[in-house]
């Protein structure tokens, strides 16, 4: 018995209807990116492991898909490494699937630095892969829609990213909250609790607060060596409520002895001031529990949550001051955000927010009553397509009922019937398959009637 075909867990097939919706998302996002002066870029699906490892923190490194070397990959490998999967992988794998689009972008900038004009603004819409446990809203293969600017430290860039998020979700009809924090504030918090060396431990733990809750975060902080005194400082910061001004005033008190932390507060205050002048329509708030677990962030960080649909963040990013320095190009600050197309699709689908014309396929099917009738239909169809109307002809001369059934199953709203009478009069019989109404239309008038 033949094995039933399947796909790996955490991946998905997308049929015509799903692809129409996805392309609507991609086209909407791409149009906004281009409006703000960003240029397209693509990088390979796989990168050298040396490019990827160590950029996402301990948790991220575990989620990298590693590619086995071609040929006899295990020839000459020290078998004593079998108990250490990471060490073994580095001996038999030189490449891995990209985990995100930001690190490959940084690699590209360093590799092509002499060809680029800085500040360099690029957008990138491609799939990424993570060896995560599949669950609702979390996939092993998914698309990211990234927009980054590198080579400038101006907070106007952060403002522009907030404007882009505001416009994208406004066009898609999704109500969101754009959450903002600053990694310098978190660095200052690590100093304030007496553990400046535990910034990574702090951010990894509090980044999970929305998933696991405050008590679990406090338990993890204890496991990571942060004492009760330190936790007593962190807890009220994570629970801060109120306006942006009230939150900033409260965190100033906590971070008053940290120059790094106070710089982060100043950057947050300036950014909130800029946002206030930009006419942002979506909700924006400072969230001091926002950490973004990736190690390379150094300044402003962002996360976008849908307000009317329960799902994880649908967009996120931040400022990275030295990501290119890892590849030999220091002092090249950048900032960017990434839109999660798969989660955005789930939100639009769950809220029934896809516009009808975004997923509309063929609008009219021409019947096939024979070679002469088909020849009559072809120039009519050419004119309809020139007018932007999707149409097709049934390829085989079969009973009209079968052609009706085909149109109904595909959700095609109109059937154009062409027989001897229509050919003699220069007309087409146009049937609305939803209402059953049928009318005779001159072939030159069809585009106007269908529109």
The pLDDT score that the predictor gives to residue 134 is 85
Residues 246-271 pLDDT 10s: 999 999 999 999 999 999 999 999 99
Question: How large a percentage of the chain has pLDDT more than 70?
Answer: 95
For 410-439, how does the pLDDT look when each residue is reduced to its tens digit (9 = 90+)?
989 999 999 999 999 999 999 999 999 999
| Whether pLDDT at 85 is above 70 | no
Q: What are phi and psi of 414, to 5 degrees?
A: -130, 145
Q: Is the pLDDT of residue 72 over 80?
A: no
Rounded to whole angstroms, the Cα distance separating 21 from 43 reads 24
In the block, residue with structure tokens 């939100």: 347
3-class secondary-structure state, position 144: strand
Question: Could you tell me which residues are beta bridge partners of residue 410?
Answer: none
pLDDT of residue 82 exceeding 80, the answer is: no
pLDDT at 38: 97
Residue 28: which H helix or E strand, with range? helix 16-35
pLDDT class of 206 with cuts at 50, 70, 90: confident
Q: Which of 59-73, 294-308, 397-411, 418-432 has the lowest mean pLDDT?
A: 59-73
- Tell me the CATH number of domain 16-42+98-350, given options 1.10.3720.10, 3.30.930.10, 3.40.50.2000, 3.30.830.10: 3.30.930.10
Q: What is the pLDDT of residues 117-148, one digit of tens each?
A: 999 999 999 999 999 888 876 789 999 999 99
Higher pLDDT, 344 or 60: 344
pLDDT of residue 180: 97
Strand partners, 364: 391, 414
Residue 217 phi/psi, 5° resolution? Answer: -65, -45
Helices (H) and strands (E) in the chain, counts: 18, 16
**Measured torsion, CA atoms of residues 318, 322, 324, 328, in degrees rounded to the nearest 10:** -170
233 touches 193 (CB < 8 A): yes
The CATH number of the structural domain formed by 361-450 is: 3.40.50.800
Confidence of residue 308 (pLDDT cuts 50, 70, 90): very high
Q: Are 36 and 276 in contact (CB under 8 A)?
A: no
Question: Is the CB of residue 438 less than 8 Å from the CB of residue 432?
Answer: yes
Task: List the single range of 144-158, 213-227, 399-413 with lowest mean pLDDT.
Answer: 213-227
Residue 370 near residue 377, CB atoms below 8 Å: no
- The domain spans of the chain are 16-42+98-350, 361-450
Residues in the chain: 451
Q: What local confidence, expressed as pLDDT, does residue 79 receive?
A: 66
pLDDT at 208: 83
| Candidate from 57-61, 275-279, 298-302 with smallest mean pLDDT | 57-61
Cβ-based neighbours of 50, under 8 Å, separated by 6 or more: none
pLDDT at 149 over 80: yes
Residue 312 Cα distances to 10, 18, 209, 302, angstroms: 16, 21, 12, 13
C-beta of residue 211 within 8 angstroms of C-beta of residue 204: no
Distance, in Å, from the CA atom of 276 to the CA atom of 280, rounded to the nearest integer, reads 7
Average pLDDT in the chain: 91
Model pLDDT for residues 4-37, shown as the tens digit of each residue: 999 999 999 999 889 999 999 999 999 999 999 9
The radius of gyration computed from the CA coordinates of the chain, to the nearest angstrom, equals: 28
Q: What are 167-191's pLDDT values in tens digits?
A: 999 999 999 999 999 999 999 999 9
Q: What pLDDT digit, counting tens, does each position of 266-283 carry?
A: 999 999 999 999 999 999
Residues β-bridged to residue 286:
180
For residues 318 and 336, what is the distance between their CA atoms, to the nearest angstrom? 6
Six token digits for residue 395: 């390829």
């Amino acid at each position: 018995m033949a094995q039933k075909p399947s796909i790996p867990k955490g991946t998905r097939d997308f049929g015509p209807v799903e692809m129409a919706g996805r392309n609507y998302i991609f086209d909407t996002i791409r149009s906004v990116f281009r409006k703000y002066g960003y240029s397209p870029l693509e990088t390979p699906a796989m990168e050298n492991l040396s490019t990827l490892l160590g950029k996402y923190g301990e948790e991220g490194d575990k989620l990298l898909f590693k590619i086995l070397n071609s040929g006899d990959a295990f020839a000459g490998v020290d078998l004593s490494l079998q108990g250490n999967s990471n060490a073994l992988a580095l001996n038999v794998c030189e490449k891995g699937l990209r985990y995100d689009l930001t690190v490959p972008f940084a690699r590209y900038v360093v590799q092509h630095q002499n060809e680029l004009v800085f500040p360099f603004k690029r957008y990138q819409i491609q799939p990424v892969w993570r060896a995560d446990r599949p669950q609702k809203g979390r996939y092993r293969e998914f698309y990211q829609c990234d927009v980054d600017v590198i080579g400038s430290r101006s907070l106007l860039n952060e403002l522009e990213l907030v404007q882009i998020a505001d416009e994208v979700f406004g066009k898609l009809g999704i109500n969101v909250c754009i959450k903002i924090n600053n990694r310098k504030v978190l660095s200052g918090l690590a100093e304030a609790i007496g553990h400046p060396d535990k910034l990574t431990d702090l951010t990894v733990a509090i980044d999970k607060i929305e998933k696991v809750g405050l008590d679990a975060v406090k338990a993890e902080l204890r496991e990571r060596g942060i004492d009760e005194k330190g936790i007593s400082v962190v807890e009220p910061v994570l629970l801060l409520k109120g306006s942006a001004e009230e939150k900033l005033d409260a965190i100033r008190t906590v971070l008053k002895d940290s120059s790094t932390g106070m710089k982060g507060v100043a950057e947050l205050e300036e950014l909130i001031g800029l946002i206030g002048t930009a006419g942002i329509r979506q909700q924006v708030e400072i969230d001091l529990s926002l950490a973004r677990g990736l190690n390379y962030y150094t300044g402003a960080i962002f996360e976008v949550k849908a307000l009317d649909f329960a799902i994880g963040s649908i967009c996120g990013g931040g400022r990275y001051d030295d990501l290119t320095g890892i590849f030999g190009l220091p002092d090249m600050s950048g900032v960017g955000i990434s839109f999660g197309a798969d989660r955005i699709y789930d939100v639009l689908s769950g809220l029934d927010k896809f516009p009808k014309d975004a997923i509309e396929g063929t609008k009219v099917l021409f019947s096939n009553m024979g070679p002469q009738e088909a020849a009559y239909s072809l120039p009519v169809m050419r004119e309809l397509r020139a007018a932007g109307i999707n149409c097709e002809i049934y390829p085989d001369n079969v009973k009209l009922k079968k052609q009706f059934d085909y149109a109904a199953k595909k959700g095609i709203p109109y059937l154009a019937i062409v027989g001897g009478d229509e050919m003699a009069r220069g007309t087409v019989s146009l049937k609305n398959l939803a209402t059953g109404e049928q009318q005779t239309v001159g072939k030159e008038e069809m585009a106007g009637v269908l529109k």
